[in-house]
Amino acid sequence: MLHVLSDTLLTKFRDSRVTRVDCVKLLQFRISHTFAVRSRIELGDVTPHNIKQLKRLNQVIFPVSYNDKFYKDVLEVGELAKLAYFNDIAVGAVCCRVDHSQNQKRLYIMTLGCLAPYRRLGIGTKMLNHVLNICEKDGTFDNIYLHVQISNESAIDFYQKFGFEIIETKKNYYKRIEPADAHVLQKSLRSPCAPPTGELQKGE
């Protein structure tokens, strides 16, 4: 029933007859009552059975569209892709991939977000901590990075609290959305004196 409720509310977000403000108010009302009774945030696997739910969430949360290859790749990354549930309702997701570039092993956060009414409840923190824990346990990643639209100040502040820094600004990174520029935020996972993973492998 709760999953049906989630799907219904996602549909309302996309329905032109219902404003986003109305949907946010409705969800916030439900959340306030639910949160007063119990609150449980959990992460679940992305599978072929719930991949459509991930697509619907991304359509609502992000201003950009992701193609079929994106979702096909997500099904192959295992623990690097998770759906976030608030009291059994799917409200967000995180999707990452391993990137070997700049002679480094890097983790790239492709998407991380949750529905607006569920923000500031610790859901984003739980998703990011999940990703950081994977990197820590693996021990071979040099850094973790992502792109953030330059106007998304709340996201920039969020990542900076976790030690991410703006290392570059890419002009016209996004297509068909404004502003088109994106900051590259990066968190180093190695001490400044440690050589990149690629150099370690060459020296062995």
Q: What is the pLDDT of residues 76-102, one digit of tens each?
A: 999 999 999 999 999 999 999 999 988
- CA 160 to chain CA centroid, nearest Å: 15
pTM of the model: 0.78
* pLDDT tens string 10-69: 555 555 545 555 555 555 555 555 544 468 999 999 999 999 999 999 999 999 999 999
Which parts of the chain fold into alpha helices (H)? 2-14, 20-37, 51-61, 68-74, 123-138, 153-161, 197-203
Q: Which two tokens stand for residue 45?
A: 């696997």
CA dihedral defined by 167, 182, 72, 136, rounded to 10 degrees? 30
Q: Does the pLDDT value for residue 178 go beyond 50?
A: yes
The answer as to whether 98 is a domain residue is yes
Domain assignment present for 18: no
Q: What percent of the chain has pLDDT over 90?
A: 72
Structure tokens at 173: 């990174």
Range of the domain at 176: 39-188
Torsions phi, psi for 47 (to 5 deg): -130, 170
How many domains is the chain built from? Answer: 1
Output the domain CATH number for residue 92.
3.40.630.30
Q: Which sequence positions are flagged as catalytic? A: 108, 147
Chain centre to alpha carbon of residue 22: 25
